[in-house]
């Protein structure tokens, strides 16, 4: 059985999902991260100049190794689920997904931006959202692909076989918040993860989740490029208040109405028999 079939066979339980998170954070984030720091210190290499794509991918490798070996006992490959968008064409669904995630981030920002960000964390985000090609590749391409594959394509897919859709969505959202490893992103990640989990449940389309995630990260990346003088913890309110005090609330109402309309429409039209 090849690597793809092994991974496809692996349908983790909640306990196994915790193991994956352990490998991502403790073994990968702490263990591999410490090893990288030691090697950089021993060789005199400036860790701050380490390629962001490399520093992002290396700590995640232990989780993939665990998943590979966890699927070794599977004897029958599980067929790939076919994406189902119900009565909506993907040509219509994808733009709606993009508007929905942007509106969701805007409307829920007061909940996700309540905690002030320390200067040390701001510096990390400035590097992550820098204008380099590698920063773009990490933030807008690698992170959506890797995180959606792990959170929705592996963990939630398994949870949907072991528990109810609501619990599977909530647990995958919780894990999505936890793997960001900081409270300044946790609330927003949990909310976005809930939307991504719901889309995955209703469509079983990993590609749609990757697209939504990429739109979300790409928006943050583009805003940092367009407004480099704004600190990385700036909110949409900070940005729009540069132009008009009332503009934020006008956009807020537009996005709130748009989000409600899109969610109602998607709930009626998307496949109801996804799993």
- pLDDT at residue 133, as a whole number: 85
Residue 259 and residue 104 in contact, taking contact as beta carbons nearer than 8 Å: yes
Same domain, 41 and 124: no
Domain end point (choices 29, 46, 80): 80
Q: What is the pTM of this model?
A: 0.91
Last residue of a domain, one of 33, 63, 80: 80
Same domain as 131, residue 9:
no
CB 97 within 8 A of CB 199: yes
Asked whether residue 129 falls in the same domain as residue 63, the answer is no
| 260, HSE (Cβ side, Cα atoms, 13 Å) | 6
> pLDDT at position 232, please?
74
Note whether 53 and 166 are same-domain residues: no
165 and 196 fall within a common domain: yes
Structural domain range at position 21: 1-80
Count of domains for the chain: 2
Does residue 105 sit in the same domain as residue 3? no
Q: What does the alpha-carbon distance between residue 189 and residue 194 come to, in Å, rounded to a whole number?
A: 8
Assess whether 191 and 248 both reside in one domain: yes
Whether residues 97 and 20 share a domain: the answer is no
First to last CA, the chain: 25
Instruction: Choose the final residue of a domain: 28, 59, 80.
Output: 80
CA angle 204, 207, 208 (to 5 degrees): 75
**Local confidence pLDDT in tens for the 275 residues of the chain:** 567 777 778 889 999 999 999 999 999 888 888 888 888 778 877 766 778 888 889 999 999 999 988 877 666 667 677 889 999 999 999 999 999 999 999 999 988 777 777 666 666 677 666 667 888 999 999 999 999 999 999 999 999 999 999 999 999 999 999 998 888 788 999 999 999 999 999 999 999 999 999 999 999 888 888 887 777 778 888 888 878 878 999 999 999 999 999 999 999 999 765 44
Contact 121, 184 (CB under 8 A): yes
Give pLDDT, residue 100: 97
| 134 and 212 belong to one structural domain | yes
Q: Are residues 238 and 115 in the same domain?
A: yes
| Per-residue model confidence (pLDDT) at position 129 | 67
| Residue 107 and residue 57 share a domain | no
| Together in a domain, 4 and 70 | yes
């Amino acid at each position: 059985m090849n690597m793809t079939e092994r991974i496809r066979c692996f349908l983790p339980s909640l306990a196994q999902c915790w193991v994956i998170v352990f490998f991502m954070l403790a073994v990968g984030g702490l263990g591999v991260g410490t090893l990288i720091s030691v090697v950089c210190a021993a060789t005199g290499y400036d860790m701050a100049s380490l390629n962001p794509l490399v520093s992002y991918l290396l700590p995640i490798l232990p989780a993939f190794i665990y998943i590979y070996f966890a699927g070794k006992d599977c004897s029958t490959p599980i067929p790939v689920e076919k994406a189902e968008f119900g009565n909506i064409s993907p040509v219509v669904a994808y733009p709606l997904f993009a508007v929905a995630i942007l509106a969701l981030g805007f409307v829920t920002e007061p909940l996700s931006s309540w905690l002030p960000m320390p200067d040390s964390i701001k510096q990390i985000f400035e590097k992550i959202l820098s204008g380099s090609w590698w920063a773009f590749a990490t933030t807008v391409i690698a992170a959506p692909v890797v995180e959606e594959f792990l959170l929705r394509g592996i963990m939630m897919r398994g949870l949907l076989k072991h528990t109810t859709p609501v619990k599977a969505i909530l647990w995958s959202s919780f894990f999505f918040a936890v793997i960001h490893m900081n409270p300044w992103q946790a609330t927003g990640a949990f909310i976005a993860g809930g939307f991504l989990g719901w889309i995955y449940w209703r469509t079983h389309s990993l590609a749609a989740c990757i697209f939504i995630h990429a739109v979300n990260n790409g928006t943050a990346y583009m805003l940092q490029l367009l407004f480099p003088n704004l600190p990385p913890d700036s909110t949409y309110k900070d940005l729009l208040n540069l132009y008009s005090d009332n503009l934020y609330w006008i956009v807020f109402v537009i996005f709130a109405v748009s989000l409600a309309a899109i969610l109602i429409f998607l709930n009626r039209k998307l496949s109801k028999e996804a799993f």
